Amino acid sequence: MIRVRDLHKSFGTGASTAHVLKGLSFDIRPGLMTGFVGGNGAGKTTTMRILLGVLDHDAGEITVDGTPIDAQYRSGIGYMPEERGLYPKMPVLDQLVFLAQLRGLTVADARRRATALLERLDLGARAKDRLEELSLGNQQRAQVAAALVHDPVALVLDEPFSGLDPHAVDTTLAVLRETADTGVPVLFSSHQLDVVERLCDELVILADGRVRAAGTRDDLLAAHAGHEWELRAATDAGWVRAVDRVEATFLDGGHVRFTADEATAQAVLREAAARGGVHAFGPVTRTLHEIFTEATR
């Protein structure tokens, strides 16, 4: 497991110092896909660069299975940087083979792995094309292949799904999922909450240099469930406002939303039934989008 603890990072000096990471802590578990989400400038790319060692941190600790991360482990990480980084003029297959060789694979193994990956990512037919001849979405897939080609010990991917059509998202996801299933920790950042919600096992929500919420989607939904209820009564529900330990958050005729503990909510339900009937009643379910908006406010 990769463990990030109390990470701090500032840019600049004196009055222009920007404290970007302010004690960031989270885990990237082996075999799971961890989605790293946060608004623009939250510190996702900075954190990933520190993980890869291309940027130093000011304080804090990163460990892998309990020991401080080192250059050897870092050299085995598959990284897809925000600024991308393949050569536009070089054929796709050739540069994947080159990258894999740089990471220690033999030419034969490099070629075998690169060819298989391109096939898996639906890019087999473009293997001999120069990168610049590919559409942006296909270039993106080639970047994913580049992060995977050397059989990485971990994956750190900055916005791997941006610009991909839904089919390409699914294809890429399947490849990443297979990699995670071999026990590799996978961290990917994304602005697309719907994509993250669908694709990742765990989420880390970042705001203002700190982790604001983390866990599985269900953990987050449960932790932020609050105690809000929705009642659709057959008759006017204005009386709910006067009930002890109840706070109405929305009221329109027989439709009311209110916060209350479970027992009080059940008492409201019984009262509504006695007053003329109930069409619907239940807890208000939150969306991940609402949780994200609240956590990053």
**Interface with ligand ATP (CB under 6 A):** 11, 18, 20, 38, 40-46
Report in angstroms how near the CB of residue 55 gets to ligand ATP at its nearest: 8
Report in angstroms how near the CB of residue 45 gets to ligand ATP at its nearest: 3
197 vs 191: CA distance, rounded Å:
11
Q: Which of 187, 91, 88, 80 is nearest to 141 (CA)?
A: 80
36 vs 30: CA distance, rounded Å:
15
Between 159 and 202, whose beta carbon lies closer to ligand ATP? 159
Between 7 and 42, whose beta carbon lies closer to ligand ATP? 42
Between 192 and 264, whose beta carbon lies closer to ligand ATP? 192
146 vs 197: CA distance, rounded Å:
25
Between 44 and 113, whose beta carbon lies closer to ligand ATP? 44
Report in angstroms how near the CB of residue 113 gets to ligand ATP at its nearest: 29
Between 24 and 32, whose beta carbon lies closer to ligand ATP? 24
185 vs 198: CA distance, rounded Å:
18
Report in angstroms how near the CB of residue 81 gets to ligand ATP at its nearest: 11
192 vs 272: CA distance, rounded Å:
41
103 vs 82: CA distance, rounded Å:
20
Q: Which of 80, 54, 77 is nearest to 64 (CA)?
A: 77
Report in angstroms how near the CB of residue 104 gets to ligand ATP at its nearest: 30
196 vs 171: CA distance, rounded Å:
15
